[in-house]
Structure 1
Amino acid sequence: MNLTRCLVAAAALLALAACSNPAPPSGQVATMSTPGTSDPGKTAAATPSAEPDNGRPRERLDMTNEDLEALNAPYLACLTQNGSPKGRKGSPGSGPSAAPVDGQTDQQAEEKAEAACLSKSPLPPWELDSSNPHAADFVHAVVQCLRGKGVRYVDEEPPQGDREVYSFGGPQNDAASISKGMSLAPECEKEVAAKGIGK
């Protein structure tokens, strides 16, 4: 089933669910609570979120490094359980190559594990998701924000996989642009998202 059909089906289910919910008893106010909070007066910290994208979790722009690690943990555990060479002694960058598992090369094992674990692989934030028709506008606005803050070499790039991207440093890998860009990117992403660009 393609993404459009899934989204239409999800919208129809939401509409039906909204029509079937009883009204709150008189004297009470309907409230929305955030998962993970029992007190409606409290807000939840940034926690991994799941979107209706075949059950795959989705990153958010406001996630901390710890949030991203927690979001990726089930995916990485699944890769390991399914024979991925990532993290295995002798994996790329850790010295001599490990012996193939069950006669498979590292690349074959990696592809097999990634296919088995796709449902746990986090999607990029919606604003950077290449399936979002407004993601390129978001990246363009972020690049303009970064340039406005003094990042000299920052460019929009073609999508990489399921993610719209931008790069720092230009052809000469300008260290000042890379450092300043990496530092200011989260701020610019949040500023642009707050304007509703990329939604």
Structure 2
Amino acid sequence: MLNLFNRAAVFASVGAAGLLVLTACGGVGGSDDAGKGSEGEVASITTPAAKGGSASASADPDAGRPQIRLDSTNEEVNRMYDAWIACLKEHGVEEKYKVTPNDPRVKACDGKRPLDPPELDPAKNPDYADDTRAMVKCMNEHGIKSVVVDGQWGLENGDSINAPHYNEFVIDCQVKAFGGDK
């Protein structure tokens, strides 16, 4: 469960999963064109028929969701989460509500929930272990004592999050370590 309304940590700490908890909130806004023009018309998608079968939609569930990049600033990430949070509130998710993935009110807003950078997903990044070690090395070079814990990078001491330029170092090191700058 995640309390979406507690902004105790910044996105830059996502890489420290297990040691730091991401509770930052923000989002890229969208617009609702419902009710504007073309009254009575319904948009449709035509999918070519599969070999020997009928047409079926095998859409990517993540298609259209806002994508966080390795070099996204905290402000950009917060804007993305803000749109998701606004959607949750519009669907009756209260400020103190604990979000669960199977709640229909949460599912209604899945299209606005930001995606983490794919480079930070061990299932999508075959170099994740090496990249994680490079991230820790980079952070340590900047004086932010970091370690690898359970395959993830984390802070040796939670006080490091308050170090001068911490957020900039995280973004710079993520881009250097996970961005193919090897």
Match of 1:136 among 125, 129, 141: 129
Distance 1:186 1:196, change over 3 A: same
Q: TM-score if structure 2 supplies the norm length?
A: 0.52
Distance 1:82 1:181 in 2: 37
Structure 1, unaligned runs of 5 or more:
1-47, 92-105, 160-164
Amino acid paired to 2:123: S
Equivalent position of 1:151 in the other structure: 144
Q: Which has the higher contact order (CA 8 A, sep 6+)?
A: 2
SS of corresponding position for 1:57: coil
Give 1:142 deviation, angstroms: 0.6
Distance 1:178 1:158, change over 3 A: farther
Counterparts of residues 12-161 of structure 1 (less than 5 Å): 53-86=62-95, 91=96, 106-107=97-98, 112=103, 113-133=105-125, 134-152=127-145, 154-158=146-150
Amino acid paired to 1:139: T
Match of 2:156 among 160, 166, 169: 169
Over aligned residue pairs, what C-alpha RMSD do you find? 3.1
Give 1:109 deviation, angstroms: 7.8
Deviations 1:26-74 (Å, cap 9, x if unpaired)?
xxxxxxxxxxxxxxxxxxxxxx6xxx63322210122223222222232
Identity %: 25
Q: Which structure is higher in helix share?
A: 1
Equivalent position of 1:179 in the other structure: 163
Distance 1:178 1:73, change over 3 A: closer
Q: TM-score if structure 1 supplies the norm length?
A: 0.48
Q: Highest Rg: 1 or 2?
A: 1
Equivalent position of 1:94 in the other structure: none
Distance 1:177 1:58, change over 3 A: closer
Contact 2:119/2:178 (<8 A) preserved: yes
Distance 1:177 1:65 in 2: 14
